[in-house]
Structure 1
Amino acid sequence: MASNNSSSFLRDQLLCSICLDVLIQPVSTPCGHNFCMNCISTYWDSVTDCRCPICKEHFKTRPNLKVNTFILEVVTQFQLQQLPEIHARPVAVAAVAVEAAAVGGSHNVRCDVCPGDTQDAFMSCVQCQRSYCHAHLEAHETDGTLRAHTLVAPLENLVVRVCQEHHRLRLHFCRDDGQLLCDTCAAGRHAGHHFVPVEKACQEKRSVMVHMEARALMMMDKRREKVGALKEAVTQNRADTRDMLGKFAGSFGKLLSELLGVRDWLEKVTQEKQKADESWSDKMMVSIEKEIVQLSSTVEKMQELKNTKDQLLLLLQDDVALPLTEDLQVMSRSTLTQDVHMSVKTAMTKIQELVGSMSRDMEVVWSTGGEWQVVTPLQDLLQYQEEVLLDPDTAHPLLLVSEDRKQVKYGLSLITAQVPKPSMFTEHLAVLGTRGFSSQRFYFQVFVGHKTEWCLGVATASIQTRETLTRSTSTGLWAIWFLMNRFEAYGCPDVPVHIGKVELVGVFVDYHGSKVSFYNVQTEELIYSFTDCHFREELFPYFNPCDNEFGFNMEPLVIVPVSPTDD
């Protein structure tokens, strides 16, 4: 018991009053108090006047402290006493054995001399930088030169662990230079640097690695979740593709059948028309040839009468009458080309009606801006409807949110003093939905009525609420902006994407498809689509009713459910 009390007392005397740990590179101040060299140096660097942290004695000039070798030896002896076993070698050797334990001695190190690397090592030699079993260690016990070598507990990688300049174990880690140091290096060219025991540096590094490992595992989980969601999306897309191809096959089969029927009908009509025209033409040519003969006879009579020299005979002769003939205008008939043209026009009208029906019943391909996109019919999106409520904590102070959180409009609130909230918009007249969406498809509808200006879409969770949003694609906002009579994509200012007014807007988001689409619900017409959006966080519905800058605009934006007739 007395021994334990003595050891505890000695440990208390060897503690640094600053770091409260056993002294490392102990130094003594002129007033007689002991500290770690790094601790007292750091303390004096942080204060304006140089004084002792314990007795507060003031020093006119900063003392040039040196390592107190006597106290260093006492610390070494104290550490030696804390080991349960130590080999009977000189004190210096035993002290290094303590050092070996501090840097991670191992009992699984193999003897470097035994063939086959099968015998466990008993000790390691700092100078030889090799490990030996009991048998091969005998030379270090008998040879006079080798007896001066320093033996330590078995260690691996001695070349790294031993200071090649001073042949001492590296017990310290210099944080300033990121190097392992022995006592001599620490007291020499690294004096004044911030260094800690190797064991503590390892603990800190392990702590950092544990944190990084946890973060990596979390990232792996998120990515596994992402992969699962992507696989689910791929499966869903495959099913959608099969359905779409089935619809295409049926519709195009019907279209092809119609086209073949139109072709057969045109061929039949054309052939019948040709035969009728040929028969009619033959009859007309026979009749016309008869009229030509009659006219020719009449012309001969006129020529004879015209050429007579007897004036009385010319005057008394009855006039020669022209034969009765058909009016050539009445005899004319519409040409084959004109009739065929009318037939083709009629057929094309039927085909256009069929294609229009196809475009309403299935996905069709359309081109805008030189890029092909797939437009999903509005009826197919209604199944993804989600309940959307407004979050008053995000609403700009000049916006009024209804009690049921389904409407928002511009206007002065009766509450004149609002407590600012971190999530509140202060630069844009906007409000977000309460719920964020990710890894899924969702759809909602908003009644905009006859408003002259509004902005509607979805925004990321990290959207800036206290700053002006730049109108670019990197803002984190995918929205359309209606102004007077035209639409613009918020990220592409002054570029109209649609002309005309809309009263009811449908917003559809395909998170994994990286797509946001806006529809005119009444006409089921696509207004605009954002593609290749690369979402990385939750998306929140975004509403901006705007002010009265362009005329009366006090009507609210109203979130409305899908009506039963739309199902």
Structure 2
Amino acid sequence: RELQEKLEQEISELKRRDAELKLLSHTEDHNQFLHSYPSLSALSEPTHSSSINIRPLSYFEDVTAALSAVRDKLQDVLREEWTNVSSTEVDVLLSAAEPTTRAGFLQYSQEIKLDPNTAHTLLLLSEGGRKATNMVQHQSYSRHLDRFTDCSQVLSRESLTGRCYWEVEWRGGGVCVAVAYKNISRAGGSGFGNNDKSWALYCDKNSFTFRSNCITTPVSDPLSSRVGVYLDHRAGVLSFYSVSETMTLLHRVQTTFTQPLHAGFWLGYNGDTAEFSKLK
């Protein structure tokens, strides 16, 4: 703005001087000409424009290059943020699309077998690794670091990520259907639901309860001998269903899973059984 005003002043001054010179060129009085000329010639040097520091062309090229780099960086940041937002929106939409019918859940059915190296010695595995039974006598399993030593529990061979669905048939006085991280303790506080590494639904003939991190939550009816488990690992969703002629939600967990999960059973009394149902 200042530069523009200075230039406008000089243009006005030059126009005034030009008019005076034209007028002086027509005078016939030589004395008048000699008297006026010095004052006009003193205006020959601009008073402002010469003092303005005009940057060289290379300066503007450098500025242009810098601005272009900033623009490219902003575009990269915006593109990355948009991708993150889009991915988050997709995750939300996908997690919201939890099935509502058994046929919908069966699309994610997972074949699961129990890992004998994790089974407590009171548990007998059968049916190709799908069934566990609490026995009176200890089984002759070999020593293994993965074996539960305090609680009559067992974990699955398979690690579970993504979307999975499975069903469990249980019988007896006290059975637990659970999921847990593989690094759950094998002794001490290893009971499903008694730590922050497992989520468990405890079932008996009179009631169901959900337990995790030593917090117990009563579960409403209906009770059934078949429990459906739906896992959306990425969305942090774990749901337990009562399965009969219809499916009824018993309990739903919304959390963040930091490791792959393993399905598990706890069988509290002699003769208790739990079995992964064949869904395929």
What range is the shorter-chain TM-score in?
0.5 to 0.7
Cα RMSD of the aligned pairs, angstroms, is 2.9
SS of the residue 2:220 aligns to: strand
Q: Which residue of 2 aligns with 1:238?
A: 93
- In the TM superposition, residue 457 of structure 1 has moved relative to its aligned partner by 1.7
Alignment CA distance shift 1:460-1:414 (3 Å) = closer
Aligned residues: 195
Distance in 2 (CA, whole Å) between partners of 1:421 and 1:445 is: 28
Normalising by structure 1, we get a TM-score of: 0.32
Secondary structure at the aligned position of 1:444 is classed as strand
Structure with greater helix percent: 1
> Do the aligned residues in 2 keep the contact of 1:400 with 1:412 (CA within 8 Å)?
no
Identity %: 25
Gaps spanning 5+ residues in structure 1: where? 1-226, 245-362, 364-374, 549-553
Q: Structure 1 pair 414/403, CA: closer, same or farther in 2 (3 Å)? A: farther
2:243 to 521, 529, 532: 521
Residue 435 (structure 1) aligned with residue 152 (structure 2):
no
Which residue is equivalent to 1:448?
Answer: 170
1:381 matched to 2:100: no
CA contact (8 A) 1:399 1:412 kept: no
For 1:398, give the aligned amino acid: L
Find out whether 1:480 has 2:201 as its counterpart.
Answer: yes
**Correspondence for 2:52:** none
Amino acid at match of 1:395: A
Q: Deviations over 1:36-82 (max 9, x none)?
A: xxxxxxxxxxxxxxxxxxxxxxxxxxxxxxxxxxxxxxxxxxxxxxx
Cα deviation per residue 1:371-419 (whole Å; 9 max; x = unaligned)?
xxxx844432211111101100000011000151011010045755x43
Query: What SS does structure 2 have at the residue aligned with 1:520?
Result: strand
Amino acid at match of 2:207: R
Higher strand fraction (1 or 2): 2
Give the deviation of 1:545 after TM superposition: 2.1
Distance 2:247 2:233 in 1: 22
Q: Partners of 2:173 and 2:139 in 1: how far apart?
A: 27
SS at match of 1:384: coil
Q: 1:240 to 1:545 in 2, by over 3 A?
A: closer
Work out the CA distance in 2 between the residues paired with 1:486 and 1:470.
19
Q: Report the residue type matching 2:125 in the other structure.
A: V
Deviation string, structure 1 residues 224-280 (Cα, Å, up to 9, x no partner)? xxx99x93x853653676xx7xxxxxxxxxxxxxxxxxxxxxxxxxxxxxxxxxxxx
Q: Distance in 1 between matches of 2:269 and 2:168?
A: 18
- Distance change in 2, residues 1:411/1:526 (3 Å): same
Alignment partner, residue 229 of structure 2: 507
Quote the residue 1:558 is aligned against. 275
- C-alpha spacing 1:515/1:543, structure 2 compared with 1 (3 Å): same
Alignment partner of 1:381: what SS?
A: helix
SS of residue in 1 equivalent to 2:149? coil
Task: Indicate the residue corresponding to 2:120 in structure 1.
Answer: 396
Q: Radius of gyration: which is bigger?
A: 1
Aligned-pair CA distance for 1:540: 0.4
Q: Does 1:405 align with 2:129?
A: yes
**3-state SS of 2:107 partner:** helix
Q: Does 1:424 align with 2:279?
A: no
Q: Find the aligned partners of 1:557 and 1:442 in 2 and give their Cα distance.
A: 19
Paired residues of 1:444 and 1:506 also in contact (CA < 8 A): yes
Q: Do the aligned partners of residues 239 and 430 (structure 1) sit closer, same or farther apart at CA in structure 2, a change above 3 Å counting?
A: closer
Superposed counterparts of 1:485-500, under 5 Å: 485-491=206-212, 493=215, 495-500=217-222
State the 1:536 CA deviation. Answer: 0.7
In the superposition, relative to structure 1, how do residues 239 and 535 fare at CA in structure 2: closer, same or farther (>3 Å)? Answer: closer
AA in 2 matched with 1:467: G
Task: Return the offset for 1:444.
Answer: 0.7
Q: 1:429 to 1:471 in 2, by over 3 A?
A: closer
Q: Normalising by structure 2, what TM-score?
A: 0.61
Which amino acid in 2 is paired with 1:238?
L
AA aligned opposite 1:392? P
